[in-house]
Amino acid sequence: MTDAWRRFIKNVELRRFVVLFLVIFLLWLMRSMMNMILFTFILTFIVVTWVNFVRRWLPKFSIKLLVVLTYLVLVLLLYFGITKYLPVLVHQVIKMVNSVIKFYSSRDATTLYHYVSRYVSWSTIMAQVKHGLTFAVSTLTSIGAITVTFFLSLILSFFFALDLKETAAFSKLFLNSTFGWFFQDLAYFGKKFVNTFGVVLEAQFFIAICNTAITTICLLFMKMPQILALALIVFVFSLVPMAGVIISTIPLSLVAYSVGGIRDVIYIIIMVIVIHTLEAYVLNPKFMSSQTDLPIFYTFIILLVSEHFWGTWGLIVGVPIFTFLLDILGVKSIRQKEKKGARPSTPTAEN
């Protein structure tokens, strides 16, 4: 038994496979806390990235003071966003929905109804409407729980970032413990995950900002109503890799048809084609290294599977997790940060 255990410890590939399987199993057991885990990781990643960036330019600046100032700014932004801009956004969304419903309930939409009814049965439409209403009600009822989860994640990420140096130093003690091999494998997977997940998520975030800015400018030229609400819709969908730009065409086209008819819908489709081309051939190569690019077919398959297992979160984290698995399996590795000498993939404790 002792010899078998020693051979297992020395077999690094088998050992890491077992550790990875154990981590996946533990995450499955903690699936009810997945919102908190993902929120905490994303917030911590963003703050630690910001801290490391500032420390490169201001190495004498206190980490604790920088973290406190960062979270104060975040809390203030959340406060002003909730108290001032959220009511305006909600008002614009309600107004936009009411105007679209009013248009499609009028006689002007009779032709469209007849056209749609040729290809889609009424029972199918009602089933989809029922599914949409059920999803909307479940989303509204879970807003409170998501809000509590977000603030708990904010607190957890704050204490992690505040004690960044101490946390990193204390965590290193596990590497030299009796089961140090286990924690060394955890550290290996942790570095890989932060590197792959961080690069893809960061790139997709900047791509979403660019897509939203370009789309908003085009919508302003088209004199579309409720620009703030439409910009939020575009930004949320743009967080979904590749498919987000295409999916956002549906609500934009509905609003465009209610405002300017088929002409504005054509403008929207042309705009989406141009933005999708820009994203595929300019933004993706700019923000992601060629090692992280995936064919569109793989991207859609990943989105379908990840949405089935993880819901809305799957649309956002599906591609980064798949990229992480590609890195672990040695199919494709992300080495963008090491090549360009960018920030470390894990929090630094030396400073």
pLDDT digits (tens, 9 = 90+) for 253-281: 777 777 777 788 788 888 888 877 777 66
Residue 215 included in any domain: yes
Question: What pLDDT score was predicted for residue 28?
Answer: 85
The CA dihedral of 55, 57, 61, 62, to the nearest 10 degrees, is -10
Q: What angle do CA 178, 176, 323 make, to 5 degrees?
A: 105
Range of the domain at 184: 16-340
Average pLDDT, the chain: 75
Contacts of 249 by beta carbon, 8 Å cutoff, 6+ apart: 268, 269, 272
Q: What are the strands, taking DSSP E only, across 51-136?
A: none
For the ranges 121-125, 243-247, 326-330, the one whose mean pLDDT is highest:
326-330
131: amino acid identity, one letter: H
Poorest-pLDDT segment among 246-250, 300-304, 347-351: 347-351
The CA-atom distances, in angstroms, between 344 and each of 160, 168, 198, 241, 348 are: 17, 13, 11, 24, 7
For 45-102, what is each residue's pLDDT tens digit? 888 888 888 888 888 888 888 889 999 988 888 887 777 766 766 676 677 667 666 6
Would you say 244 and 251 are in contact if contact means Cβ atoms under 8 Å apart? no
* Sequence-distant (≥ 6) Cβ neighbours of residue 230 within 8 angstroms: 96, 215, 216, 219, 224, 251, 252, 255
- Residue 63 has a pLDDT of 83
Query: CA 156 to CA 162: how far, in whole Å?
Result: 10
pLDDT, one tens digit per residue, over 193-244 is 887 777 777 777 887 888 888 888 888 888 877 777 778 778 877 777 666 6
11-15: Cβ within 8 A, 24+ apart: 15/181, 15/185
Residue 345 lies inside a defined structural domain of this protein:
no
Higher pLDDT, 1 or 146: 146
What pLDDT is attached to residue 340? 43
Whether 345 has a pLDDT exceeding 50, the answer reads: no
What would the mean pLDDT of 153-163 be, rounded to a whole number? Answer: 89
pLDDT of residue 22: 92
pTM of the model: 0.68
Residue 9 lies in a domain: no
pLDDT in the model for residue 77: 80
Helix 34-57 with 63-80: angle, nearest 10 deg: 120
- The reported pLDDT for the residue numbered 137 is 54
Answer yes or no: is 3 within a domain. no
Q: Which one is predicted more confidently, 334 or 28?
A: 28
pLDDT digits (tens, 9 = 90+) for 96-141: 667 666 666 665 555 555 665 555 555 555 555 555 555 555 555 5
Q: How many domains does the chain have?
A: 1
**In a domain? residue 6:** no
